[in-house]
Amino acid sequence: MCGICGELRFDGAAPDIAAISRMSDKLARRGPDHAGIYQDGPLAFGHRRLSIIDLSAHANQPMVDATLQLTLVFNGTIYNYRELRAELQTKGYQFFSEGDSEVILKSYHAWGEQCVTRFKGVFAFAIWDQHSKQLFLARDRFGIKPLYLTQDSHRLRFASSLPALLAGGGVDTTIDTVALHHHFTLHTVVPAPRTVLKGVRKLSPASTLRIDPDGNITEEVYWTLDATRPDTPLSEAEWLTATREQLAQSVKRRLLAADVPVGVLLSGGLDSSLLVGLLADQVKDLRTFSIGFEDLGGITRLPC
């Protein structure tokens, strides 16, 4: 869990570095291992790092590739980064780090905006092209990693959390009544791109957003769920086997993408118990965690 934030000016003015610093401070709990700020002309990035893959300083962010003239801030994990790295090396790309962040940079240079279709993981990231002065934002297929946006005629800002975005100032905090209706009727869920605030929206899952130097904004959906049945009907036993194979593959993929101990949050449900069962034979001393709340007089005391 890292934290990213940034600002792109449309009016030719320099970004508000003080605002980026305040936004980054609000993201400190998401990334205690390193903090960085980057500026180039109308663009500024902030990043808070939680080290999971390549724990060295080579993987710190904002990550600047001077050769490719690209800069990245990234929150998430690309589970198949090793396969992508190997493929990129056959194309002649050389790497200065061992993690997944640099793989995103090289992938963007090699395959353009369609690089997101190759990523298997959870992510929200922003790439700044120093040469073309173009900003590119992307979010994973199911929107696991958050990305909040606020925009006016002068600038666009983004951040990993709503409090961080508000810390930058200048946000319309009027309640969006339609979003509030969703919040109360959909079990506290507000579908993207809305949020409860009129001045803030979310980049939709499986979407990318490109801002050209002239201020033109293009948003595209790069993936939709294929929920169609297979051509050949499967029996119940075959469905169970196929489901188990997919789950095992998914768990194995995540195990390969970590340079730190792996743990499981026990929610008390079937999903976390299933994960522990699949991991038990693959991870020595598997760590599990659970969270409880003190109940005083029928009132749940939540942590501050």
Whether 304 is catalytic is: no
Are 49 and 33 in contact, with CB atoms under 8 Å apart? Answer: yes
CA 263 – CA 200 distance, rounded (Å): 34
User: Which residues are CB-contacts of 169 (< 8 A; sequence separation ≥ 6)?
Assistant: 19, 22
User: Which residues are CB-contacts of 227 (< 8 A; sequence separation ≥ 6)?
Assistant: none
CB neighbour class for 56 (10 Å; exposed up to 12, middle 13-18, buried from 19): exposed
Structure tokens at 262: 């792996």
CA 9 – CA 156 distance, rounded (Å): 7
Give helix 270-279 / helix 236-256 axis angle, nearest 10°: 70
Which is the catalytic residue, given 2, 5, 115, 304? 2
Structure tokens at 247: 């789950």
8-state DSSP, 32: B
Under DSSP, is residue 207 helix (H, G, I), strand (E, B) or coil? strand
Please give the backbone phi and psi of residue 175, each rounded to the nearest 5 degrees, phi first.
Answer: -70, 135
Active site (catalytic) residues: 2
